[in-house]
Amino acid sequence: MVGDGLLVGTLGTAAIVGVTLLGAWTGSPVLADGEAGLVCAAALVVRLLLVRAGRALVGIVGVLAVSLALHAPQAAAGVVLAEQGRTRPVVVTSVHGGTSPSGGAARYLCSVADPAGVPLAVLIRRGCGQATRPGDTLAVVYDPRGRVPPRGAVAESDAGEALRGLAGWAAALVAASAVAVVRSFRLAGPDGHHGADAPGRP
């Protein structure tokens, strides 16, 4: 039972992350933006419902699966940039600062332009701080094929580092899925019926 649960959770997690990675690597927005990952998350939930896992556990799995699908696009973009990205300097044109949504430390974002003066369509966070001023130079890493947006460069970034942020979500999803499957088997009667559907139940 535990093996079946781990298999279901692992396959669901791999599907969510895998399709997003495939989309980022091939430049397919439908896959890379997380939409396909949400479909895989829904498929995992349906699979658990079919084995009649408890609704509370299915709900937990659904929340974890959706969270993983929403975090995967940033990680997938990081993998592409780590493997095939190139670094170039850009010039800061303006700095936008403010507190974080949680009310913590101030967060700064920089509007930048390439050396030819062409503005980039994204705001850069890494390397942008309180001391940054218009006219300063930042390093960004970009994909020559334009599959993913550029971001601030970081030292010694690799594919493993890009995916590390998903490890907690993935582990929690596999564990919750395994528990849901195991619980569904334990709630089943000797003839495979569950709960109110078991013989003799009203």
- Helix or strand run (H / E) with residue 169: helix 167-186
Phi-psi region of 175 (alpha: psi -120 to 50; beta: other; left: phi over 0): alpha
Per-residue pLDDT of the chain (202 residues; tens, 9 = 90+): 677 778 888 999 999 999 999 999 999 988 999 999 999 999 999 999 988 888 888 999 999 999 999 999 999 999 999 999 999 999 999 999 866 555 556 789 999 999 889 999 899 998 898 899 999 999 999 999 999 999 988 765 677 888 888 999 999 999 999 998 888 765 555 444 444 344 333 3
CA 76, CA 82: separation in Å to the nearest integer? 10
Number of H helices, E strands in the chain: 6, 5
